Structure 1
Amino acid sequence: MLKTMTLQGFTGQQPAPGALDLPRSPQKLPFTSEAESEASMSEASSEDLVPPLEADEAPDRDEEEAAKKKKKKSKGLANMFSVFTKGRKKKSQPSSAETEGDSESQSGPAGRLPTVEELKADLEHGRLEAAGPLLALERELQAATAAGGMNEEELLRRQSKVEALYVLLRDQVLGLLRRPLEVAPERLRQALAVLAEQEREDRAAAAAGPRPSALAATRPRRWLQLWRRGVAQAAEERLGQRPAAAAEGRTEAERAFLHMGRTMKEDLEAVVERLKPLFPAEFAVVAAYAESYHEHFAAQLADLAQFELSERDTYVLLVWVQNLYPNDIINSPKLAGELQGVRLGSLLSPKQIRLLEATFLSNQVASVKELMARALELESQRWTQDVAPQRLDGRCHSELAIDVIQIISQGQAKAESITLDLGARMKHMLLVELAAFLKSYQRAFDEFLERSKQLRNYRANVIANINNCLSFRMFVDQKCQTPQDLPSPLLSPLDELKSHGVDTLLQSLFGVLKPLFKRFTRTRWAAPAQTLEEIISVVGERLPEFSELQDCFREELMEVVHLHLVKEYIVRLSKRRLVLKTAEQQQQLAGHILADAELIQRFCTQNGSPATWLHRALPTLAEIIRLQDPSAIKIEVATYATWYPDLSKGHLSAILAIKGNLSNSEFRGIRSILDIHTGAREPSKSLFSLIKVG
């Protein structure tokens, strides 16, 4: 199972201090302008918002006095509400109007609604308790409208006052929710309660449907929507901040990803731990923040993906989109349960991801190919410059296999760090490249074998490269789940490289043995034991030259030596220079062959030859030469042909020529037994196909 890269592990940096450190200079929300609020509230007196009880209780006034008072009050309200446009004074230095409003708010008679001045003073002092009386004023106004008896101009003037106060209330509530972590919990709960109440009023108004009224439609006010918009703006500001200076060598894109990822994770954890317990469940505060952060993160990455990215940035972008973001952020221990029902999706579209993956795979394969070619070039230079290979545990050692395997493994691991599926696709592509590399390696090694024989470290470098085949073979075995067409292209160059190397190492030895084997025919097999003992002695003296091979290749080399001894022995028997006409002579030769076969087998086995398949080659030939009954000889030949399917009639004829007492018909009858076995099966290993007769 893939080990997902953690955000901390990927960045190698300490987490940024604090979380959800929302900006202290927030952008202005698209609320009603304050100038509009002042204009609407300065048109009429504050008594316009008090329930119309004075219609029955107030004494009659003449028109001149009423106009005079109205003008005076209008002027006073205009001065009072000038704070909407001129800015509010510091709370530590309240104005005389604020003091008066505060006094009136606190000392107003019980059972009556506050005046405009009182509500404004309360709201300017942050007293969210004013939300209740304000809502009552709104309902009184609606009731007055329904009852009739008030002209349209008066109704609209009163409504403008209510809406102006709602602007104040809205700014107070959303201002607190703009930086919720800086607000005391009780204060935050109060603001949330007001917001929830307004949301309920919006729903009630929507359920009631539109009704004919002289008043302008003011609901739904959609404060919850404005709050969510504010969350989105806060997310944009948080993620859009300039990332701190990072470790040297990190690209600008990496720094941006790191900043956004870390900020989003820490901020969402703060939302879960500190805000979720305070917010009403219907607000879905975690989802609101998560969706806003996700949307901005995705927008930034989508913009970046439109450009032609460097190889490194392409990889980093895919790691964030496919691994770090879903695993280290969305499914992190603190957030996984909270975000389970939030459908955030991927940071990039499937099409963008496919294009980036194709680019990444192409880049990575090209990089791996280049690195392997460079490694082979450096290795070839060491051969031609006659640099001695390293010795490791008494074996000649080359770093080429280790370097190439590391290049392949790192390329695949890089893809797997994005997704397992991408890792599987990369694995197949890299094994194809490895097969091509091994073919190039084999060609370069063959060229070295032909052109550099005079170099002092020639044999040591040959041994080192044969030893390389073990590391490559083990690596290929670990990738046994590859498609069926890959193992052969991978293993064939290694087998050929090893075979050519072993043949080169044994070439001088076999050259020394050749004249010794010729003695068998020159002496007409007079003293075969002495000749073979000398051959075995020469081989034994040369074996230490191969001690720096890996054990498995030393065994394979001994199998080649074993095969050579048996093959050359059979070659000398097949020269048709020895014809024995009596049974006694044939039995004597058979005895010599059996003794020589035992000597060859014992020597080769003791020195590590695994070639048990050669054990029957000489003893059975000795039995064919010893037997005199044609039927018994046929049985032995038939059995022999099952062990060595490459035995031909020509080879059999050369052996039977030793038996000078066979008639022509007996000779032909014994040879015909091979007709039954011709093409029965292919030999797993060659023996007689290596022997020329004629």
Structure 2
Amino acid sequence: MKEDLEAVVERLKPLFPADIRVVAAYAESYHAEFASQLSALTQFELCPRDTYMLLLWVQNLYPNDILNSPKLAPELQGVRLGTLLPPTQIQLLEARFLSNEVTRVRELMARALELESKSWTKDEAPLRLNSRCFSELAIHIIQIISQGQAKAESITLDLGTQIKPLLLEELARFLRSYQRAFDGFLERCRQLRNYRANVIANINNCLPFRTSLEQQWQTPPDLRSSLLRPLNELKSHGFDTLLQSLFGDLKPLFKRFTQTRWAAPQQTLEEIVSAVAERMPEFSELQDCFREELLEAVHLHLVKEYIARLCKRRLVLKTAEQQQQLAGHVQANAQLIQQFCTQNVSPRPPSQPPMVVGCPPAPSSSRARTSSLGLFKPDQVRPEPLWAPGHDSGQGQPLSTKPVPAGLPSHLAARRPPQARRDHSPARPQCHQD
């Protein structure tokens, strides 16, 4: 059609007077014939490919590539040809196209997940890329979604806008299915040789999904959070699986804190840190960002277990020196944990290390539970004196001024004690452990 009309412009137009609109006459004749043929075509049940090609011709190729071509556009100015199909018929075809395309995308993604999950259960080793475990599933899914978007935009940009939320809805449905399939794999396939490698590959898969949602699709923050929720769950469950063995091996070591003298836990903590360091190469095939997140989980576990063991001990610290000694042990142990995590991709910038606060024993009695170990940023800490019971008089005496976290629970915060009673009981050993 384009070649025919261009031939009219080049060969026939010069043969007719200027007042005879020969090009317009030919264009109107061609347009009427095509409109009649297409209208008859739409009466049949069209397959998805025919629906797409018909819309592509009516909405894009005919008005843009033919009528608006450099040779024909000047000749057809002022000629009102209209569309090849009525607007209502075009809307029906567009609705059919959207439904067909969404179904196609859903089926392709389901097929990709089925093939991927079969490779897990068959104990196939994942691919390696730059010494990292790698899966092509994310690439396939992103390509499927992107192709669906591009296909709609090839018809009209407005149709591309209409299909975007539908594709994102399908992506959300796929990610939930992906999480369920991965959870099933975690539960049923623990004995497979490539189990851990496939777990790592699936955790690494979260990165291209997240990057695509943040950069390519540019989704609103609330929608992005909803889409990323299954991936965050997948990553969290993967971390739990990878760390389960390590945390189990650390449990007997942490128990030693309640089985040894309070003043001698340093060696135990050093053994714990060494045990963690020996296991860190197991996570080297994670992407750097996920290895850092996993180390945060290890850091949190070490601190929480340390706090839990401290809180299970009941100590008698009768002198200020003993209390200061305990605070020094807590501070040294916290620094050891922090130093280890900093050397193994620290989750915090070096310019703002966390402050470690050890709360003293409750001042109303010489028998007190050791306090929790908290991590606080500098702007969350306010100076406040720590108090210990007086020994010769009834007044509490400040030991020192140390940072105390604002808003610390009342049962942990250091408070100035009420007037102490004189203790006439026989002297006890300096340190007693129940």
**Given the two structures, how large is their TM-score scaled by the length of structure 1?**
0.53
Distance 1:609 1:366, change over 3 A: same
**Aligned-partner Cα distance in 1 for 2:151–2:332:** 61
After superposition, the C-alpha distances for 1:461-487 in whole angstroms (9 at most, x for unaligned) are: 000000000011111112554356522
**Aligned-partner Cα distance in 2 for 1:485–1:519:** 46
Aligned to 1:28: none
**Aligned-partner Cα distance in 1 for 2:400–2:105:** 61
Aligned to 1:340: 77
**Aligned-partner Cα distance in 2 for 1:635–1:424:** 59
Q: Is the 8 A contact 1:294 1:347 kept in 2?
A: yes
Identity of aligned residues (%): 71
Q: Secondary structure at the match of 1:620?
A: strand
Match of 2:354 among 597, 616, 636: 616
Aligned to 1:628: 387
Listed as ranges, the matches of 1:12-31 within 5 Å are none
Q: Is the 8 A contact 1:591 1:622 kept in 2?
A: no
Distance 1:319 1:514, change over 3 A: same
Aligned to 2:118: 381
**Aligned-partner Cα distance in 2 for 1:373–1:593:** 53
Distance 1:333 1:512, change over 3 A: same
Q: Is the 8 A contact 2:102 2:166 kept in 1?
A: yes
Distance 1:313 1:632, change over 3 A: farther
**Structure 1 residue 299, shift from structure 2 partner:** 1.2
User: What is the identity, as a one-letter code, of the residue corresponding to 1:628?
Assistant: W
Aligned to 2:213: 476
Aligned to 2:423: none
**Given the two structures, how large is their TM-score scaled by the length of structure 2?**
0.84
Name the one with the larger strand percent. Answer: 2
**Aligned-partner Cα distance in 2 for 1:324–1:527:** 81
**Aligned-partner Cα distance in 2 for 1:572–1:615:** 24
Aligned to 1:602: 339
**Aligned-partner Cα distance in 1 for 2:198–2:330:** 39
Aligned to 2:301: 564
Match of 2:248 among 499, 506, 511: 511
Aligned to 1:533: 270
Using the TM superposition, name which of 621-630 and 551-560 deviates more: 621-630
**Aligned-partner Cα distance in 2 for 1:612–1:521:** 33
**Structure 1 residue 573, shift from structure 2 partner:** 1.7
After superposition, the C-alpha distances for 1:204-249 in whole angstroms (9 at most, x for unaligned) are: xxxxxxxxxxxxxxxxxxxxxxxxxxxxxxxxxxxxxxxxxxxxxx
Aligned to 2:53: 316
Q: Secondary structure at the match of 1:276?
A: helix
Matched, 1:432 2:169: yes
Q: Secondary structure at the match of 1:281?
A: coil
**Structure 1 residue 314, shift from structure 2 partner:** 0.2
Q: Secondary structure at the match of 1:453?
A: coil
Aligned to 1:140: none
**Aligned-partner Cα distance in 2 for 1:587–1:480:** 56
Q: Secondary structure at the match of 2:273?
A: helix
**Aligned Cα root-mean-square deviation (Å):** 2.5
**Aligned-partner Cα distance in 1 for 2:220–2:336:** 46
Listed as ranges, the matches of 1:581-592 within 5 Å are 581-592=318-329
Listed as ranges, the matches of 1:665-680 within 5 Å are none
Distance 1:541 1:354, change over 3 A: same
**Structure 1 residue 378, shift from structure 2 partner:** 1.2
User: What is the identity, as a one-letter code, of the residue corresponding to 1:408?
Assistant: I
**Structure 1 residue 663, shift from structure 2 partner:** 4.2
Listed as ranges, the matches of 1:203-352 within 5 Å are 264-352=1-89
**Aligned-partner Cα distance in 1 for 2:213–2:316:** 53
**Structure 1 residue 616, shift from structure 2 partner:** 3.2
Listed as ranges, the matches of 1:450-529 within 5 Å are 450-479=187-216, 481-482=218-219, 485-529=222-266
Match of 1:442 among 179, 182, 199: 179
**Structure 1 residue 318, shift from structure 2 partner:** 0.5
User: What is the identity, as a one-letter code, of the residue corresponding to 1:594?
Assistant: Q
Residue correspondences, number: 389
Q: Is the 8 A contact 2:386 2:402 kept in 1?
A: no
Name the one with the larger helix percent. Answer: 1
User: What is the identity, as a one-letter code, of the residue corresponding to 2:81?
Assistant: L
Q: Is the 8 A contact 2:132 2:287 kept in 1?
A: yes
Q: Secondary structure at the match of 1:578?
A: strand
**Aligned-partner Cα distance in 1 for 2:210–2:330:** 39
**Structure 1 residue 447, shift from structure 2 partner:** 1.3
Distance 1:425 1:485, change over 3 A: farther
Listed as ranges, the matches of 1:350-429 within 5 Å are 350-429=87-166
Aligned to 2:424: none
**Structure 1 residue 275, shift from structure 2 partner:** 2.0
**Aligned-partner Cα distance in 1 for 2:205–2:267:** 39
Q: Is the 8 A contact 2:105 2:148 kept in 1?
A: yes
Distance 1:648 1:298, change over 3 A: farther
Q: Secondary structure at the match of 1:396?
A: strand
Distance 1:573 1:418, change over 3 A: same
**Aligned-partner Cα distance in 1 for 2:400–2:61:** 76
Q: Secondary structure at the match of 2:231?
A: helix
Distance 1:611 1:627, change over 3 A: same
Q: Is the 8 A contact 1:524 1:578 kept in 2?
A: no
Q: Is the 8 A contact 1:466 1:497 kept in 2?
A: yes
Distance 1:405 1:611, change over 3 A: same
**Aligned-partner Cα distance in 2 for 1:648–1:504:** 33
Runs of 4 or more above 3 Å deviation: 479-485, 611-617, 622-626, 629-638, 647-650, 662-666
**Aligned-partner Cα distance in 1 for 2:301–2:62:** 64
Q: Secondary structure at the match of 1:455?
A: coil
User: What is the identity, as a one-letter code, of the residue corresponding to 1:539?
Assistant: V
Q: Is the 8 A contact 1:589 1:622 kept in 2?
A: no
Aligned to 2:381: none
Matched, 1:547 2:262: no
Q: Is the 8 A contact 1:431 1:486 kept in 2?
A: no
**Aligned-partner Cα distance in 2 for 1:599–1:535:** 11
**Structure 1 residue 637, shift from structure 2 partner:** 4.1
**Aligned-partner Cα distance in 1 for 2:124–2:47:** 38
Distance 1:564 1:338, change over 3 A: same
Q: Secondary structure at the match of 1:486?
A: helix
User: What is the identity, as a one-letter code, of the residue corresponding to 1:463?
Assistant: I
Aligned to 2:376: none
Q: Is the 8 A contact 1:583 1:628 kept in 2?
A: no
Q: Is the 8 A contact 1:442 1:496 kept in 2?
A: yes
Distance 1:310 1:371, change over 3 A: same
After superposition, the C-alpha distances for 1:593-632 in whole angstroms (9 at most, x for unaligned) are: 2212222111111111314699436x22268979327899
**Aligned-partner Cα distance in 2 for 1:570–1:510:** 15
Q: Secondary structure at the match of 1:374?
A: helix
User: What is the identity, as a one-letter code, of the residue corresponding to 2:207?
Assistant: L
Q: Is the 8 A contact 1:415 1:423 kept in 2?
A: yes
Q: Is the 8 A contact 2:387 2:417 kept in 1?
A: no
**Aligned-partner Cα distance in 2 for 1:608–1:478:** 26
User: What is the identity, as a one-letter code, of the residue corresponding to 2:340?
Assistant: F
